[in-house]
Amino acid sequence: MLRFLVLALLAFLPSVGQANDNFDILKNAKKIVFFGDSITYGGEYVIFFERWLTVNHPELSPEVLNQGIPSETVSGLSEPGHLRHGFPRPDLHERLDRALKALEPDLIIACYGINCGIYMPLDKERFAKYKEGLQRLKNKVEAQGGKIIFMTPPVYDKPNPKFDYDDVMAAYAKWLVSKRKDGWLVIDLHTVMKESLAEKRVKDPKFKYSRDGVHPGEEGHELMARQIIDFFAVKPPLKDPQPNAYGRMMMFLRERMRVQRDAWLTKIGHKRPMGKGKPLAEANKIAAENTKHIQQNLETILKQSK
């Protein structure tokens, strides 16, 4: 009887750990690179993920690099209307070989799709270009000995009287999730974001993750990061014992991410008109100073959590 009572009580206690084979991928990655479009370039979800990694797994300390580029596609497509900006959409594959050679990542996390349908109705040929682009990306990463995790595109949340572009994103996401049966590692952001959006609009019909329908705000980036964290997590995240230290850490993580992002994008090269980053040696010095501050805040957080 006592044995059954103990088991019953344990069933109601929060889990302190869980089996997760995906954690081995993280544990074996010394360098993690994020590829994507403007959402990744903005990088808040990358910062939220890196904060979780820094605080909850300081024993790992991989290098995390953001290599997103605004308006980029993995499909290589660009709509005529985009030329009003003075250039076609950049194609990941134009720079991919150089990036893989220069960075030698152990793990890539890639989020593409929102630009790949080029904001037009679902089309067989455009869809095929998206599929082909992701397959080429996977092949090249794995040929170099790395692993890749794909994220389905976020929700497109901008009304259009002619057609719903999010139906295109849903189709892209459904196909990408179907590739799990072939061994692809896929995080289904689109479905989670769509369901969460519907739930929030029950309470607030005007709720939006993104003001412009494309680029998520802070809450949307937190949701994105949470999907990556849940993919890897083997234990509940550390509670926030020191909000100020968490905030300061975010500031230094953000500055380090931006200076390294821009330096590497400039060094590797690409075809999108953008401001140049600092020389890599200078960027690394700035990054090292930020790393010192990040470690100081980590010590405060860990001390307060005891």
- Give the whole-number percent of the chain exceeding pLDDT 90: 82
Per-residue burial over 17-54, b = 16 or more CB atoms within 10 Å of its CB, e = otherwise: eeeeeebebbeebeebbbbbbbbbbbbbbbbbbbbbbb
pLDDT averaged over the chain?
A: 91
pLDDT of 84 strictly over 70: yes
How far CA 263 is from CA of 105, 266, 293, in Å, comes to 16, 5, 20
Counted residue by residue, the chain has a size of: 306
Q: Which residues, including other chains, have CB under 8 Å from residue 30's CB and lie 6 or more apart?
A: 62, 63, 106
What is residue 243's predicted lDDT score, i.e. its pLDDT?
Answer: 66
| pLDDT, position 240 | 64
- Say how far apart CA 297 and CA 44 lie, in whole Å: 19
Using CA atoms, how far apart are residues 220 and 210, in angstroms rounded to an integer? 7
Residues 6+ apart with CB under 8 A from 70: 37, 38, 41, 272, 274
Which tokens go with 137?
Answer: 């990306």
Q: Write down the pLDDT at residue 306.
A: 67
User: Which residue from 27, 108, 34 is spatially nearest to 61, judged by alpha carbons?
Assistant: 27
* CA gap 26, 48 in Å, rounded: 16
Tens of pLDDT along 219-258? 999 999 999 999 999 988 877 656 677 789 999 999 999 9
**Spatial distance between the Cα atoms of 190 and 165, rounded to a whole number of angstroms:** 13
pTM: 0.92
Closest by CA position to 30, among listed 7, 71, 64: 64
Q: Average the pLDDT over 156-181 and give the result.
A: 96
Q: What is the mean pLDDT of residues 40-63?
A: 96
In the structure, what pLDDT confidence band is assigned to residue 9 with cuts at 50, 70 and 90?
Answer: very low
Model confidence at 16: pLDDT above 60: no
Q: Domains of the chain, with CATH numbers? A: 18-242 (3.40.50.1110)
